[in-house]
A and B are shown apart, each in its own frame.
Chain A
Amino acid sequence: MPTLEVKDLYVSVDGKEILKGLDFTVNKGEIHALMGPNGSGKSTLAYTIMGHPKYKVEKGDILFEGKSILDLKPDERAKLGLFLAFQYPVEVPGVTLFNFLWKAIQANNLDSTSPRIKQLPKSVVDYKKELLEKIKKLNMSEIFVYRPIGVGFSGGEKKRMEILQMAMLKPTIAFLDEPDSGLDIDSLKIVADVVNSVRNPELGIVMITHYQRILNYIKPDFVHIMLDGKIVKSGGPEIVEKLEQEGYAWIRETTAEAAD
């Protein structure tokens, strides 16, 4: 049984149809890259899977370990082991990441006896210890977790905080929505190192990106190209090379041909 299966998914936002019959499967242990031009619906897919109330599923289904999750709220999906590193992380004035993340971990601890939950810290002392280790790995200063979430953070700092949360929450399937955009070359490498360090057979990653660079550090098993609300091409890393050279025109042509 696939870990996460998206079947013939149609999604609309404010009455506008964005995903138009999307099929997609990801398993634990796999790394997928999801690429596609601006506005093709990559973030929409990630939001929908995480259960954003604005994104309405019109048709199709999303299954986690064989069960539909369409009726689950975002927090219930999180507790199942889904995670989303946001393309545009929000700001929450007055709330520190330190407090928030500990609350989140406690909430996860409450709910389940799955192997994933067993790995989460159970005491605030263990939590703090692990958090500090991971901050160090991300080459960040501790002060960031004691500042209000996102407030006054640079774009790159926000992205690293997302990766930090992933590393702490130990999801089963993680969507990383452009974790590389806005990062300088050194930060990109650090983020890639951290992602690689959390790689394990119990974690499936879907990396949304526009660039080959991060994929040089984090080797995907599968690459998918999205166009106008659908996945139009899937394959191995070789697709990325070709995309870098020829742009999306190549995909548009081949899919147009196929449609003829």
Chain B
Amino acid sequence: MAEAIKNRIDLDYSKYDFKDEVKYVYQAKRGLSREIVEEISYWKNEPEWMRQFRLRSLEIFLKKPMPTWGADLSEINFDEYIYYIKPTDRKGRSWDEVPEKIRKTFERLGIPEAERKFLAGVGAQYESEVVYHSLREDLMKKGVIFTDMDTAVREYPDIVKRYFGTVVPPEDNKFAALNSAVWSGGSFVYVPKGVKVDFPLQAYFRINAESVGQFERTLIIAEEGAEVHYIEGCTAPVYSEDSLHSAVVEIIAMPGSHVRYTTVQNWSKNVYNLVTKRAVAYEGAFVEWVDGNLGSKVTMKYPAVYLMGKGAKAEILSIAYAGAGQHQDTGAKIIHAAPYTTSNIVSKSISKDGGRTSYRGLVKVQKGAIGVKSTVRCDALMLDEFSRSDTYPYMEIEEELVSIGHEATVGKISEDQLFYLMSRGLTESEALTLVVLGFIEPFAKELPLDYAIELNKLIKLEMEGAIG
């Protein structure tokens, strides 16, 4: 039976694997240089401070060495990528204003439908630029801002200037520097004091062209007591040449606010996904990262929360799936910089067909942060003997009056579990599906219903489909 388990789980990608023949307004030539960065800045018609920020970031990028830890990045050739593609001249406020081919793409991905059903606002990015943006009228009236980052730089310079690059400075790491130099698109979310956004805001990122880099930049600010749930989805067609996705996400959670950020990335298996996501949480604020990694060739992503104010709280819940040729190097990072802060990390990973998952996590408690509570739990499931899973949990505890828990399990699907389920009449693939869905259930139940259903479908399709 163990042998039959192989080749059973492979996420079905056919739904996302289609390419469009789109005529772009502008496409940069391959490679990265000062000229390219200036061109991007020129096309965006942005203020001088941003142009300077980009150029400074480029210097940092060029100086910083590639990370030598984590996944294998040796095949990345920065000269091969196209760093900027402008797909259209203007951004639509209704889907009718979006060029037909691009609109069809998003329809195929189900975005307008989800918008009608349960979203408070939607952003859609195609290659380097956001092509559509909407926000429910009543939220607009309450002062909520949900727009693309480029527009925000022009229209809300004060807020942007105050926070942009403060949570993830370009010096942070090579890919944060890269993003800072060539960033384009992404979301800007601002929720004023006390405003609760009742339905999720969603952004969808689509890469269509080959060898293209997507470098969106997202900034979320929740003022005191505000609440917001932001969802992000991403896909690309399958190409033989690699693409690069390197985003930066910054969240500022003011006292008493609550921010939840949900991502399920399902990039095609030729995408390098190297993302820096970080939040700061002030007194009594609550930040949640719900982070699903199913696609990409290589992902390195460690959502972080800096707990800066007393009683702030963080939860990081993630799943990773790695099939043939995939390496998901994911994890979480929590800095307890204030007393009575709490954090909870749950990480689940599944590897199959030689796929590799790594959990890399850091929990740091700074001196003086008394009464801190932190729990970390990582479970890995390997579906065959060719796959691999590693755990690298780091703890830096500088305070004594804290409570820290860590639990890790690494398991194979047990023959006895499958036999038990089959002995009631389920086929082997049905039994396997059930065990895997059960394994990721703690994650799935945190997703909005439609996404949970989609996730379950993805996993089911492959496991049941493959047995024929």
Size band of the interface chain A makes with B: 20 to 34
- Shortest CB–CB separation between residue B215 and chain A, in angstroms? 36
B426 touches A75 (CB 8 A): yes
- Shortest CB–CB separation between residue A8 and chain B, in angstroms? 24
- Shortest CB–CB separation between residue A164 and chain B, in angstroms? 12
Of chain A, the residue at the smallest CB distance from B436 is A94
Within 8 A of A (CB), among B403-444: 414-417, 419-428, 430-431, 434-435, 437-442
Of chain A, the residue at the smallest CB distance from B419 is A52
Residues of the B chain whose Cβ atoms lie less than 8 Å from the Cβ of A103:
426, 430, 434
**A198 CB–B CB distance under 8 Å:** no
**A90 CB–B CB distance under 8 Å:** yes
B434 touches A95 (CB 8 A): yes
Q: Known contacts being A53-B1, A54-B415, is A95 close to B426, with CB within 8 Å?
A: no
A93 touches B426 (CB 8 A): no
Residues of the B chain whose Cβ atoms lie less than 8 Å from the Cβ of A75:
422-428, 430-431
Of chain A, the residue at the smallest CB distance from B422 is A74
Residues of the A chain whose Cβ atoms lie less than 8 Å from the Cβ of B434:
92, 95, 100, 103
- Which of A54, A78, A148 touches B422 (beta carbons < 8 Å)? A78
- Which of A50, A77, A93, A107 touches B427 (beta carbons < 8 Å)? A107
Among A73, A75, A86, A91, chain B packs the most CB atoms within 10 A around the CB of: A75
Residues of the A chain whose Cβ atoms lie less than 8 Å from the Cβ of B430:
75, 103, 107
B419 touches A92 (CB 8 A): no
Among B416, B417, B419, B440, chain A packs the most CB atoms within 10 A around the CB of: B419
- Which of A50, A108, A148, A165 touches B438 (beta carbons < 8 Å)? A148
B414 touches A107 (CB 8 A): no
B438 touches A92 (CB 8 A): yes
**A26 CB–B CB distance under 8 Å:** no
A94 touches B425 (CB 8 A): no
B419 touches A94 (CB 8 A): no
Of chain A, the residue at the smallest CB distance from B441 is A94
- Shortest CB–CB separation between residue B445 and chain A, in angstroms? 9
Q: State A104–B426 Cα separation when bound (angstroms).
A: 6
- Per-residue CB contact flags for chain B residues 438-459 toward chain A (1 = under 8 Å, else 0) read 1111100000000000000000
B424 touches A95 (CB 8 A): no
**A89 CB–B CB distance under 8 Å:** yes
A94 touches B422 (CB 8 A): no
B424 touches A92 (CB 8 A): no
Residues of the A chain whose Cβ atoms lie less than 8 Å from the Cβ of B437:
94-95
Residues of the B chain whose Cβ atoms lie less than 8 Å from the Cβ of A51:
419, 422-423
A165 touches B420 (CB 8 A): no
- Shortest CB–CB separation between residue A43 and chain B, in angstroms? 12
By DSSP majority rule, is chain B's interface helix, strand, loop, or mixed?
Answer: helix
Q: State A52–B435 Cα separation when bound (angstroms).
A: 18
Q: State A95–B418 Cα separation when bound (angstroms).
A: 13
- Shortest CB–CB separation between residue A168 and chain B, in angstroms? 9
Within 8 A of A (CB), among B62-108: none
**A4 CB–B CB distance under 8 Å:** no
Residues of the B chain whose Cβ atoms lie less than 8 Å from the Cβ of A90:
414, 416-417, 420
Residues of the B chain whose Cβ atoms lie less than 8 Å from the Cβ of A145:
none
- Which of A91, A93, A104 touches B425 (beta carbons < 8 Å)? A104
Residues of the A chain whose Cβ atoms lie less than 8 Å from the Cβ of B424:
75, 78, 100-101, 104, 107, 165, 169
Residues of the B chain whose Cβ atoms lie less than 8 Å from the Cβ of A93:
438-439, 441
- Which of A53, A78, A84, A94 touches B439 (beta carbons < 8 Å)? A94
**A230 CB–B CB distance under 8 Å:** no
Residues of the B chain whose Cβ atoms lie less than 8 Å from the Cβ of A100:
421, 424, 434
- Which of B414, B415, B438 touches A95 (beta carbons < 8 Å)? B438
Residues of the A chain whose Cβ atoms lie less than 8 Å from the Cβ of B423:
50-51, 74-75, 77-78, 83-84
**A79 CB–B CB distance under 8 Å:** yes
- Per-residue CB contact flags for chain A residues 93-127 toward chain B (1 = under 8 Å, else 0) read 11100001101110110010000000000000000
- Shortest CB–CB separation between residue A186 and chain B, in angstroms? 27
B415 touches A89 (CB 8 A): no
Among B1, B419, B425, B427, chain A packs the most CB atoms within 10 A around the CB of: B425
- Which of B420, B422, B425 touches A169 (beta carbons < 8 Å)? B425
A107 touches B439 (CB 8 A): no
Q: State A74–B420 Cα separation when bound (angstroms).
A: 9
- Shortest CB–CB separation between residue A33 and chain B, in angstroms? 22
14 A–B contact pairs at CB < 8 A? A50-B423, A75-B430, A78-B424, A90-B414, A91-B417, A92-B421, A94-B440, A95-B437, A101-B424, A104-B425, A104-B426, A107-B427, A108-B425, A169-B424
Other CB < 8 Å A-B pairs besides A54-B415, A104-B421, A105-B425, 7 of them?
A75-B424, A78-B422, A92-B421, A95-B437, A100-B424, A107-B425, A169-B425
